[in-house]
Structure 1
Amino acid sequence: MLYSLITLFLTAIIYLIPLLIWLPFKLSRLQKICLYLIIFCNLCLISFFTGNIGVLLLLFTTGTYLALINPQRIQNIVLLILDYLFNVLWDNILTTLIWIFWHIDVASLQENHYYFLALIGFTIISDYFICKFLLHVFNQIYQRLNIIKLPTGTVFLICLQLILTLLLFVINIAEGQQVGYSPKVIYFNTFIFCAYFFISLWAVIRAIQIYKKEAEMQMKQESFQTLQQYTAQVESLYNSLRSFKHDYSNILLTLYEYIDTRDMDGLSSYFIQNILPLTKQLEPQNYHITRLANLHIVELKSMITAKIIYAQEMGIDVSIEIDQPIEQINTDIIDLVRMLGIFLDNAIEAALETDAPKLSFVIIKDEKETVFFITNSFIDYHLQLASLSQAGTSTKGSSRGIGLYNVAQIISHHDNLFLDTRTQEHTFMQILHIYA
């Protein structure tokens, strides 16, 4: 009995290690102890009462606890299922290798307490390093795929795939327990598990790649449409200036007669009634669009143009300043478009809540860095700035607040990005530094 409890105590550590490494949030000491006790108690039930079918109860209780301590429930449950699948896969691989090299089957190994405890100890150590390596590989793949938020349909299919894989593993293991773990059964299980695991992994990565291509294509179409809108605005402004230039000499001639006769009252009246209304033909807000001429990155320029035009149409006082030509920025343009789009959307929403809505967009570039300043008028709801990057933090309701969380996720995958968020009186500032 004591030996069985020791093996279960060590086995619970095997299940705990991947979760501690893969979960994107840190657990407190008390949370780690509670999570360990849940796993240990379930392993005792599996060992003494329910058999391998009790794995479903293990996953349910552990998943429920993770859902209670962190709001990212789907993500945590997916990682929990991956934890179990990984441990089953690695256990079968180790068992197969032991049989191939030492011709020792599982039953014989379990009878020798020292060898079996040594195997568990080796599994714990190897689990730690393999999980660290897999986390590094995942981060590299995640960064290359450049995906922050998958559509709901894709997430559902991935979850369904994982659940089907889990059921396959549990049923296979339960049946294997009934017929006995002979070398042939172990070989078969290892082959099936590995093949299914890697095929599923390939299918998921392929689905994400297809989604990424579709997202990039949609972004290019949107960029083209907003660029056309930008071109139309510039052409409209140019035509207004051209018309005004054409009439400029005639306007001066009409003033000459009043000046020549020293008729100041007539001049004043003529100016107010005829000349002053002409200035309204040159809509002042259109001048802001021309200040984007120094921005030569098409994807960025088109997105910013669309946001600025929308802000002007909503009655926001917009100012733009780009002091020198911007040809290239040392970061992924798609990520930059996403971040600035989120900043501008938030700035427009916040500015519209104020009595005198204002928005400012400034780019400053030198040899060491490029800095984006997005400032806007806002109503201070006294939210902690540090909490704005957490999912669900918003003044717009419980279903909002994902934008700045996505920004934080993007920045975490780039070493040369730094975001400085500030407030000053009734002004909210997002300052994004991109180092060369």
Structure 2
Amino acid sequence: MSDEWQTYRDDTRTPCKYGRNCYQRNPQHHSSFKHPPKNLKRKNENYRPNKKRYKLTASPRKDVNDTNKDLDHRDTQGDIGSVDQKTRSNEDNASTSKTDLDKGSCDDNIVIKFPEILLYHDKSDHNLFKELFLVEMPEDFFKFYKCLEELESFEKVLSSVNLELIGPYDLLLGKLPILDNKDLYLVHWRFFYDPPEFQAILKKNGKSEYHIGYFRDHPDKPPQFLASCDSSKDCSITPMAKNIFATIYLYLQNEKNTSPFMSIACQKLMDKVKKWAENHGYPLEKYDMKERQAKIQTKTFHGAGIVVPYNKRTQLGYRNLVETDGNLKKMFSKLKSAKTQKEKDDVLSDLQPVITYANIAVDECDFGTGLEAGINLFCSGIRELEASALSSLQAAYSLLKRDEFAKILQAHLKYRRKGPNLSVLSINEK
């Protein structure tokens, strides 16, 4: 074995996926990944990999150490590959959770065994929000509740304008039970299309799936805005305002104009909300999407966009997916309408390169690409794509230090349900 080859073998860095044919010119890439000596010939110069049709599955993977041994063996054969161990670890987590996804995902008949006697959390303990929901609630969340308490029977007042408090507000209302399974708090009023970044706090009454919630780019940072979504229609998230007072005011304006039978009730509450906002210094302004456009790398299927660290000089942090949104939507549509397994396999095979290249992008520090791919797969609402969505997002969230979002997503996909009543207490009891 030559000295150059021995040096390459002893190098502890991860092998580059492209080996001698690496096209990357970024210095950071070459400092992060090892590349084989270029003056050594392949042992099998005529080797050509067979083209295969792939299925998007979460099959069990080898142990990381075994994989690295395989890569070292492949290096001597000239077929070079690379493995990012942190990413692979997240993919393994997705694989182990595949059984849970098969049991519960997209299942409206999920059943949970609750205690015979339910006890409820102390509504005065605000530390519970972070413990149970993995995110801190902003100041306006609590201010709005205190203002509501000034009203007599405020739940009836909200009901008169077709609204009800949900999600984390149930803790302040004393309606959140003490449960052993902490994952259930993460799916309490989490609607079918709600990504981990979106947390519902209000909804329309009855059978409507229209809901309003906070949108965060990072679990440890304040929400960027409040937005609305109607899961009975699609995954679209529509920004409304930066604080809850402005959000409710805008909602009431719209309801007043579209629902004449509620116009009087809407105007009364609008007057109250305006007074509260002025007293506490909250502007009643609509969210300016131009501000958001300057921050995001791409819109994603839900439209609210994603924000990740991006270095303009090195162009590290995000690159476009290999397929346009339009083409992806066509593939998802074909998958939904597929009537045979062969038809499904054909579409899944076409989708595989999108996921593969997104994973390569993550390996090369373009974490936003993995985040975009995972969000789009999740927003498709297709069960066959959930394991791939989980794998992509777990890797991206971990590398972006957004691990709380990964936990929320895993719980959501395990108990993912459709419908207007997504309270944890609405899950059927055995």
TM-score, normalising length: structure 2: 0.24
Higher relative contact order by CA 8 Å / sep ≥ 6: 1 or 2?
Answer: 2
TM-score, normalising length: structure 1: 0.24
If each structure's helix is expressed as a fraction of its own residues, which one has the higher value? 1
